[in-house]
Amino acid sequence: MNSKGHKFFAPAGFFGRRILPVIFLAPLCALLTGCPHNDYTVELKPTAHGVERTLKFYRVDEAFPSNELAAISQVYPAGAVKWESGTNYVARGEFAGAMPKDIGGAGSFTNYVTSLGESGFYSERFRGEDDLAARIERQFHAADQLTDLIIGWSKTEFGHERGYKKLRQFLDEDFRSDLKNDGQYFQLGAVSELSNTNAPEEFIARFGQYLFERGYVKLVDAPKLPTLIIGGGEDEAVVPDMVQKLVAEKMKIPASGPLPKSLAILTNEAALEKSWEKYLAGTDLYRAKHKAWEAKVKTDPKLAEPKPGEAANDLFAGVLGFSFDFGNTPDHLTVKLALKNAPDHSNGKWQDGQIVWEADLSNDRPLPVLCYASWSNPDEQFQKAHFGRVLLEGDELSQYDLWRSGLSQPDGQEWDGFVAGLEPGPDLKKKIEAFQVNAGDKADQLEPGRKLLANAVQPGVNSK
């Protein structure tokens, strides 16, 4: 049993026993514990110069931590953070460009206003780690450590067998590589679940295909695959039997011949766990974990002494990219962005005149929480007066606004004057294409704007 009461040991664990149930039950365990956590609501309202940001926050079941309150106060104007009632606080401020790191992360909010309309762009990362290379390196390192432990344990149990050298070679090469790939498959499955409701089903299919191709599962075992990956089911002997057959195969033991008595431990869960714990108790990994506990227990007498198996559990969690610290409830985040019209692009939900995002700020997320949106609002009156209809909207208007905002002041003024002098008619497209700024070397800078307008003009449509 690990420190949280979940049975999980590495030799059988790698082959699928109780892997996904542990992951899926984590949120439920956290919910039932009711541990204190922070709740944040970010409300965004575009203004003429940027965005008004209102942060409402509180601590569930206790007072909001003073150090976190001080950190939030530092990134808002003086006096902007106020106590409302109980443990509830609110902070308000207007920002342009970079968003304040009030919750942790980085973001930006930009409005572009031109004579043709306005466009806006919002993107913000909340906490999490965006250094994927560092995360993968940690996962691979954990996989190497776990593989070395399994090799060491296998030597104590099967090292005397004639075919052990072949088994060791398999563990040191193929198994080591497969364990690293398994961790990445779990991460990919978790990433896809962020936006794909069919992610669990697709993950089983992808991971199952990988197990087939690598020889861990035979075609005859296909009906047992869901039990292998998800765990549970009526036939709890599925995984141990498959592990035993796999080990025998790697040791080149004929399927028709008798199995060495030493392999019986693979189908005896109690004996297997006892052997695994005994081996781990003598490893440097566990000694280091126990030494750390000895230092902490001096100030925390109630801290439970770690069991040997927990050291390997930590490594297995590292391979998959999550932790077994189920007692902590993650902070919760809600972001609301008010807009005049539905966004052109966003990963949030459009409802009642605003985009809404909701997420848990968990350290186990495969990717940081990311909220993004882009939108545009054409100036219908201006465009109809000069083009005969709304010529640019949506992505085309956003592209135009971005381009126009990048022009120098003299070029921008000259271009705006030209556009303001256009009128609907059969020569509209020719007039747009013929426009040149006074400085000939600046002509290339006008090409994007000219092209957007000229391509949108339709003969016979843009007329009085």
Q: What percent of the chain has pLDDT over 90?
A: 53
Same domain, yes or no, for 19 and 111? no
Same domain, yes or no, for 199 and 79? no
Residue 152 near residue 146 (C-beta atoms within 8 A):
no
Could you give the CA distance from residue 425 to residue 455 in angstroms, rounded to a whole number?
15
What is the per-residue pLDDT across 123-175, written as a single tens digit (0 to 9) for each?
999 988 778 898 899 999 999 999 999 999 999 999 999 999 999 999 999 99
Could you give the CA distance from residue 365 to residue 191 in angstroms, rounded to a whole number?
8
Least confident interval from 34-38, 102-106, 307-311, 378-382? 34-38
Same domain, yes or no, for 173 and 112? no
More reliable by pLDDT, 87 or 44? 44
Residue 97 near residue 110 (C-beta atoms within 8 A):
yes
**The domain boundary residue, chosen from 270, 289, 318:** 318
Same domain, yes or no, for 51 and 152? no
Number of domains composing the chain: 3
Could you give the CA distance from residue 229 to residue 207 in angstroms, rounded to a whole number?
8
What is the per-residue pLDDT across 233-250, written as a single tens digit (0 to 9) for each?
545 566 788 889 889 999
Phi, psi of 45 (to 5 degrees): -130, 115
Identify whether 186 is part of a domain.
yes
Q: Which residue has the tokens 């197990």?
A: 211
Same domain, yes or no, for 28 and 174? yes
State the average pLDDT for the chain: 83
Same domain, yes or no, for 41 and 121? yes
Residue 460 is predicted with a pLDDT of 59
Least confident interval from 74-78, 188-192, 415-419? 188-192
Identify whether 40 is part of a domain.
yes
Residue 143 is predicted with a pLDDT of 94
Mean predicted confidence (pLDDT) in 54-73: 92
Same domain, yes or no, for 111 and 244? no
Identify whether 69 is part of a domain.
yes
Q: Which residues pair with 106 in a beta bridge?
A: 125
Residue 226 is predicted with a pLDDT of 56
Residue 118 is predicted with a pLDDT of 94
Same domain, yes or no, for 86 and 205? no
Identify whether 464 is part of a domain.
no
Identify whether 438 is part of a domain.
yes
Same domain, yes or no, for 61 and 170? no
Same domain, yes or no, for 180 and 70? no
What is the per-residue pLDDT across 323-354, written as a single tens digit (0 to 9) for each?
655 456 789 999 999 999 999 999 899 999 99
Using the 8-state DSSP alphabet, how is residue 162 labeled? T
pLDDT surpassing 50 at residue 9:
no
Identify whether 323 is part of a domain.
no
Same domain, yes or no, for 66 and 167? no
List alpha helices for 194-255, DSSP H.
Answer: 199-213, 225-230, 238-250
Same domain, yes or no, for 42 and 150? no
- The range of the structural domain enclosing residue 233 comes to 10-32+131-318
Identify whether 2 is part of a domain.
no
Whole-prediction pTM = 0.71
Half-sphere exposure of 83 (CA within 13 A, CB side): 9
Mapping DSSP onto H, E and C, the string for 445-462 reads: HHHHHHHHHHHHCCCCCC
The full DSSP string for 295-354 is HHTTT-TTPPPPPHHHHHHHHHHHHHT----TTSPPEEEEEEEE-SS--SEESSEEETTE
Mean predicted confidence (pLDDT) in 266-285: 93
Each residue of 186-206: b (16+ CB within 10 Å) or e? bbbbbebeeeeeebbeebbee
CATH number of the structural domain spanning residue 332: 2.60.40
Identify whether 305 is part of a domain.
yes
Residue 13 is predicted with a pLDDT of 38
Contacts 24+ apart (CB under 8 A), 284-291: 285/145, 285/149, 285/311, 285/312, 285/315, 286/311, 289/314
pLDDT surpassing 80 at residue 112:
yes
